[in-house]
Structure 1
Amino acid sequence: MKIPLFPLDVVLFPGAPLPLHIFEDRYKEMVTSCIERQMPFGVVRAQSEGLAVVGCTAQIVTVLQQYADGRMDILCEGGERFEIELLDTSQAYLQAEVDRFLDLGEESSREERAQCTALHLEVMELIGLNDNQASPRNLAIDLDAPVSFTLAWTLPADLNFKQELLVTRSDAERTAKLLAFYNAILPKLRRGAQTSRASGRNGHVM
């Protein structure tokens, strides 16, 4: 399967929203072609050492705004993961032959999903992101299905870790990596929150 590629400093996950402002001529051409042909393009992380091998397709959901000079604001949604097999530079924009893939390993248990979600929301609370897309009221969580991708795209983590999660081909393994991440950062976040509360009480009559 050959698809256009859009290298970005981002890791896109299946089901995750991706708003984009398209301004380069080559990508205006690419997006216009994708809209006309009703086909997705591939989002791959652009790294200093080159492109990531594994990416995720992006389906254009809607064109939010079209400008007179051809620029456009679009909203996309992550689709399927893929692995790049062969790059094609024959067009103004990059293309690639890719192999799509799904998880092969075991799924996480409902208990693990519930634990992972609870820790995720605690992290969001402690770092003050409750009012964004990662807030409890905005996350659509169904514990009867895998939640690792839903949590991963809102995760306050570096892109190397997010790319590691994208590459992982087992929901159980991906969920375990998320749990390890939360358990590693939460003690520090909790201590920071306690310190802030304590300093906020200084000078006040209890």
Structure 2
Amino acid sequence: MPRMLPLFPLNLVVFPGEKLNLHIFEPRYRQLVRECIEQNITFGIPPYLDDSLSELGTEMRLLSVEQTYSSGELDIKTKAVGVFRINKFYRQAPGKLYAGGQVEDVVQDEVPDPVLREIIAKQVRQLYEALGLRKLLLELAPDYCIFDVAHHIGFSTEQEYQLLATTSELERQEMVRDHLDTILPVVLETERLKERVRLNGHFKNLTPPNF
């Protein structure tokens, strides 16, 4: 069922379940945050990519206002709650300073392939260990979803948007698996090359072969 939703276009992709901290400084979005507080409404972040507004966006709920500045600027915490499609965009919502849109919810198929889930979790661990980022390694819950890892595997913004546009968890798993299958061998080979370069010039204690 179409509904009116305040919109806050940004040049990023937000995934359902993600928490996002924002610094609000423009008067139109300060008005939006005030209304979120007073009316308990949500707002949408449609990605602004390639100089145009995307058809899909992510609905956000205000969690808290962390700081209010004397200038009226705000630091807020938000959480993504779902995906929507814009049917009609208004540069200014009726009677408001901020943008808005007639939107409809995008229904998700959340059923994963449990085998793929384990494979992807193993690949993510391999990627972070190969990059020397073990301290940043994600602690994935057994029931994690693809959106939980999507910002952490080297996707471009365009690839992230393609993932957002995919309504099946199984298809999202396949996209991520294909991506990791492509980049992992490259990363592992690069790390091996770096190790060989580091060793070059060192004194080597080698055992000659017996002929």
Ranges in structure 1 where 5+ consecutive residues have no aligned partner: none
Shift of 1:155: 3.2
Partner of 1:28: 30
CA contact (8 A) 2:121 2:140 kept: no
Give the distance between the partners of 1:67 and 1:131, measured in 2 at CA.
34
Give the distance between the partners of 1:200 and 1:78, measured in 2 at CA.
44
3-state SS of 1:28 partner: helix
Shift of 1:49: 4.0
Partner of 2:142: 142
CA contact (8 A) 1:83 1:98 kept: yes
The structure-2 alpha-carbon separation of the partners of 1:124 and 1:38, relative to structure 1 and needing over 3 Å to count, comes to farther
CA radius of gyration, larger in: 2
CA contact (8 A) 1:41 1:59 kept: yes
Ranges in structure 2 where 5+ consecutive residues have no aligned partner: 205-211
Give the distance between the partners of 2:19 and 2:153, measured in 1 at CA.
14
> Structure 2 matches for 1:42-121, cutoff 5 A?
42-88=44-90, 89=92, 90=94, 91-104=96-109, 107-121=111-125
Give the distance between the partners of 1:149 and 1:140, measured in 2 at CA.
11
Give the distance between the partners of 2:187 and 2:86, measured in 1 at CA.
38
Could you tell me which amino acid in structure 2 is paired with residue 58 of structure 1? M
Structure 1 residue ranges (4+ consecutive) displaced by more than 6 angstroms after TM superposition: none
The structure-2 alpha-carbon separation of the partners of 1:49 and 1:35, relative to structure 1 and needing over 3 Å to count, comes to same
Shift of 1:72: 0.9
3-state SS of 2:9 partner: strand
Give the alignment's TM-score, normalised by structure 1.
0.89
- C-alpha RMSD of matched pairs (Å): 1.8
Q: Which segment is superposed worse, 2-11 or 194-203?
A: 194-203
Q: Deviations over 1:94-119 (max 9, x none)?
A: 01111112224x72221100111221
Give the distance between the partners of 1:11 and 1:110, measured in 2 at CA.
26
CA contact (8 A) 1:112 1:175 kept: yes
Partner of 2:201: 203
Give the distance between the partners of 2:74 and 2:132, measured in 1 at CA.
31
CA contact (8 A) 1:3 1:42 kept: yes
Could you tell me which amino acid in structure 1 is paired with residue 62 of structure 2? I
Could you tell me which amino acid in structure 2 is paired with residue 126 of structure 1? A
CA contact (8 A) 2:58 2:83 kept: yes
Could you tell me which amino acid in structure 2 is paired with residue 203 of structure 1? G
Could you tell me which amino acid in structure 2 is paired with residue 72 of structure 1? L
Q: Which segment is superposed worse, 57-66 or 14-23?
A: 57-66
Count of residues in correspondence between the two structures: 199
Partner of 1:164: 162
Shift of 1:23: 0.8
Partner of 2:186: 188
Shift of 1:42: 0.3
Give the distance between the partners of 1:101 and 1:9, measured in 2 at CA.
21
Give the percent of matched residue pairs that are identical in Structure 1 and Structure 2: 27
Shift of 1:60: 1.4
